[in-house]
Structures are given as structure tokens and as C-alpha cells.
Amino acid sequence: MRPGLIPLVLCVLLGFVGRAESRGSIVLYDASTGDRPGDQPWLLYADNSFLPGTSISQEAVPGEGTRLVSNMAAAGGYSNVNPITSAPRNPDFPALDRSTGFEVGFDLLVTSESHTRSDRAGFSLIALAGDGLGIELGFWEGEIWAQETGFTRGEGVAFDATAGMASYALRVFGDSYALSASGTEILSGSLRDYSGAGFPPYTLGSFLFFGDNTTSAAADVTLGTIRLAVVPEPGSLALCSMAISAGLLIARSASRRGARRASP
């Protein structure tokens, strides 16, 4: 192999490996196994059922996912970090860097949802980047909307979440988010800083939550497969570029030496 090609080949190989680890989708919950999310390595389950008069159920539905049913007094769901102790469920969970971007994909069916306040939802998705900025989305039967920093309703979109299991993708990049359903963007806006609330999980970073996080709403949902994809750090691309440049210099130097040796 020519000397100048070695860095290029290594760069390509390392690039594929890096993308397999960082860009390749991590399955946080595989719904096809018949398990619940908390039975698998990435997410933990917690609820407030220790309080009198509260109850929440989670039932594995073969081939679909996990049915999560809450009532007005109950709250619970799945997260990658324990919001009380701040301990991660899995220490290998990647950092969620909004400067390079990440995407959360999940399948969800909202069978029913009810609320006593117009700024609460029986099922919510919270996605916070490493620096704490992120977005909370509330899912109603016929609408999906963003939670403001003062915990009031922000932008929303009419969407029938009861029509069937839908495949959603939440993309976070820079200062913005975009939510797609079945490949079509349906909602977008700016990220929020919820840390002013002063309590977890809103004071955490690199945090994901799926479930009912309020006692002012209730829902009956089926949560399917959950995937996470993060974009490679730009530093790895810079190293690759440097390696290629170095390889080209080596190749030119070798070519000149070969030409001098060939001269009479």
C-alpha cells in the first residue's frame, strides 16, 4: 500500500467505527422482546405509587411495547437518569450535545388522555441536552404541544395521536427542536431552559423521560421501541482531515524521492 493511503484508510475505518458507536442508532427500548423498558439496560422505571391513593400500571404488550396507564393521582415513567439521585441507569449512556445534534425516535399510541389543567398532559417526552437546554412535549388525544419555562402551554399542533401507533422522531440541534411523525415534520420551535424551576429533572443534563410526570393529568398509552442517535464530535472529523493532509504530504515526498532515484 502506498504510504499516503495509510492515514486515509485508517481514517475511513475509524470513521465507520465512530459512526457505528455514536451516530448509529442505540436501541434504548426494544419493544419486540416482550420486556418493559425498565427490564432492559438503558432506562429505569419510577412512579409515585408509594403515596396513599396512587396507582399506575405498566404491562408488556407482545409485539407492540408497554402499556402505561396512569390516573389523576399517579405519575410515573421511564428515564435514563434517576431524577432523585441523579444516578444514570447505564453509565455508557452518551452525552446529548445540542451543538452537534441528537435525535430521539419512539413509537407511541395514545389510547386516551385527560387533564384538569390546560397546561398539563398525561404523557410527556422530556429531552434535555448536556447543558440543560431542551424541550418538554405534551401529548393529548388530538394535540401535541411544547411546555414553556413557566410551565404553561407553548406552541402546538393538531394531531390525532389515537389513530394508531405512530413513529415519532424528535431532533435537537443548536437552539431548536423539530418533531416528525412518520417522516413528516409537524412541530418545531426553540429549546427552553427549565432549570429555573430549581428541581430535578429540570436541573439535569443529558436527560430523557417518557411518561406521566404530573398529578393533574392521566393517560392510557402504549410505548413502543425507543431509539437514540447522536452526531459524531466535530473533533473526530478534524483529526480525520489532518490525517488525510499528512498522508498527502507523505505521498508527495515519496513521489519526489522516487523521481530522483529514476533520474540518470
- The pLDDT-based confidence of 264 (bands split at 50, 70, 90) is very low
For residue 88, which amino acid is it?
P
pLDDT attached to residue 49: 83
Closest among 198, 180, 189, 172 to 103, alpha carbons compared: 172
Across the range 188-204, mean pLDDT stands at 97
pLDDT attached to residue 53: 77
- The pLDDT-based confidence of 10 (bands split at 50, 70, 90) is very low
**Regarding beta strands 76-79 and 56-61, do their DSSP bridges make them parallel or antiparallel, or are they unpaired?**
unpaired
Give the count of beta carbons closer than 10 Å to the beta carbon of residue 45: 18
Across the range 176-201, mean pLDDT stands at 97
Contact 107, 189 (CB under 8 A): no
pLDDT attached to residue 177: 98
36-40, 115-119, 214-218, 240-244: least confidently modelled range: 240-244
- The pLDDT-based confidence of 156 (bands split at 50, 70, 90) is very high
- DSSP 8-state assignment for residue 1: -
pTM: 0.81
When computed from its CA atoms, the radius of gyration of the chain, rounded to whole angstroms, is 23
- The pLDDT-based confidence of 25 (bands split at 50, 70, 90) is confident
Q: Helix or strand or coil: residue 239? A: helix
Across the range 166-195, mean pLDDT stands at 98
Tell me how far apart the alpha carbons of residues 148 and 26 are, in angstroms, rounded to a whole number.
Answer: 29
Closest among 100, 108, 78 to 207, alpha carbons compared: 78
Contact 168, 144 (CB under 8 A): no
Across the range 10-36, mean pLDDT stands at 66
Closest among 106, 62, 100, 60 to 80, alpha carbons compared: 106
pLDDT over threshold 90, residue 153 = yes
Structural class in CATH, domain 25-233: mainly beta
pLDDT over threshold 70, residue 251 = no
Contact 84, 223 (CB under 8 A): no
pLDDT over threshold 60, residue 8 = no
pLDDT over threshold 90, residue 145 = yes
Tell me how far apart the alpha carbons of residues 84 and 199 are, in angstroms, rounded to a whole number.
Answer: 9
Across the range 32-43, mean pLDDT stands at 96
Span 50-107, pLDDT tens digits = 888 788 999 999 999 999 999 999 999 999 999 889 999 999 999 999 999 999 999 9
